[in-house]
Amino acid sequence: MIVPCIISGQEIVNKDTTFPVFSHKEPETALHHFSYFTVNEDNIKSIADNAKKGFKQWSEVSISKKVEIFNKFIEILKSKREEFINVHTEIGGPGWFANVNIDGIIGQVQEYIGCLSNSEGELFHSEHNEVAITLRQPIGPVLSISPWNAPVILGGRSVLAPLAAGCSVIAKSSEKSPKALYLLIKYLLEAGIPKDTVQLIHLRPEDNPPFIDGLLATGAIRKLNFTGSTAVGKKISTVAAKYLVPCLLELGGKNISIVREDADLTKAVPKITWGAWAHMGQICMSTDKVFVHESIYDEFKEKLIPVAKEMVKDPDFAINQRDTLGRNKVVQLVDDALAKGASIVFGDYSKSDIETKNVLSPLILENVTPDMEFYSTESFGPIYALEKFSDIDSLVEEINSGDYGLKTSIWSSNVLSAINVAKKIECGGIHINNITVHDEPHLPHGGVKSSGSGRFNSRWGINEFSYIKTITADY
């Protein structure tokens, strides 16, 4: 199969410009190919002009018609459920996570339908006019860039939020999972979205920089949203800044669990471990570091070993990492930590076995120190580190001194005390007595510091792709 681009409602396939999408099981074997967009000034101008036309087309669609289109999209998503599950599992996503993706995107559409009838403005007193009004207005055409690891829900939200705000969208897929976004755009058009309002392009990795720079240089794009690594997010935001294009960025996280002395360990131990290992750690919200109060540290470890032994029997933990690049990064972090004095609490680690079998067995480390790369680097693998703490205020200071701020969990039987601690932590989402992997369609999602800026989901997502206009009137 060759996955096409979709430009102005037309599926575009050029057999002379294709790029392979490799298997997670056999990194040298292609699952299929995609037809990549040829980056040149004329082609970029064409899709930019389409996006401007699409913005106008979408602005002329009534709210009732938009509700009808989104409801039709939900019907299609439900009827194509197995198709979406397959596009996720074929790139290494476990079955449960594939279901989470399709359920999540349906929930996103439902939430945005509810938001469409919200007030678009407010009425204010004016000292110098009879009336003053503020209106929420769509910001204009948007460039949406989504990652491979949860391609249905992350690809979908990158498009749905600007659409719900009233914007047109040029969506760029990940070269590791182009089929999911292709299906989403195809079915949005089938549901009735105007042909120039949503477009899809695929790129070879080396074409990303000239494409983004060239598209932003046209002046057509009024906002960019990107979900992915912090390193790439910094590069993209630097280019966007050159053209004064604002960005919504959902980036990496060095996510943390805090286990206080009054925590219910029977609940905390399995949930924390699952939250670190799920999808082989390839979730931006996965737990990387677990701080356990020194008074219960030994008890935590004692309960941890049998839980981990049982959990690792799940066949999902024998799934390969998405590619050798990600796998090798985790290996490098573990090798560096072990060489500098870290120790393995649980798991079998053999670099040669990993390279032979292409599977990373889940690991738990301890004695990880600041001079080790793992201490401050997102692993994106099935691994987390234990660390003792004695004073919660000192721990909060340490956490806040770090670069990231996406997700934190706090485990405590004193919920009010935990809420007070949560208020002090610089983090986009804090979950008390639950895991760091948490995202719901009606709640804002995003990070601070090197974990990004802005929020997806619900009215917060709509507001990200809007601006406020002030109108005054007098007789």
Phi, psi of 467 (to 5 degrees): -135, 160
Q: How far apart are alpha carbons 245 and 225 in whole angstroms?
A: 10
Question: Catalytic residue among 5, 115, 167, 284, which?
Answer: 284
CB count, 10 Å around CB of 122?
A: 11
* C-alpha of 30 from chain center: 25
β-pairing, 287-293 vs 30-35, is: unpaired
Nearest Cα residue to 105 out of 155, 149, 167, 168: 155
Give the tokens for residue 143.
Answer: 């460039």
Is 426 a catalytic site residue?
A: no
Phi, psi of 409 (to 5 degrees): -120, 145
Helix (H) or strand (E) holding 225: strand 223-227
For 166-183, b/e burial (b = at least 16 CB within 10 A) is: bbbbbbbbbbbbbbbbbb
Is 250 a catalytic site residue?
A: yes
CB count, 10 Å around CB of 16?
A: 6
The residues near 198 (Cβ < 8 Å, ≥ 6 apart) are: 6, 54, 159, 163, 168, 169, 171, 185, 188, 189
Phi, psi of 270 (to 5 degrees): -70, -35
Q: How far apart are alpha carbons 350 and 341 in whole angstroms?
A: 17
Question: Catalytic residue among 90, 111, 175, 250, which?
Answer: 250
- Residues involved in catalysis: 250, 284
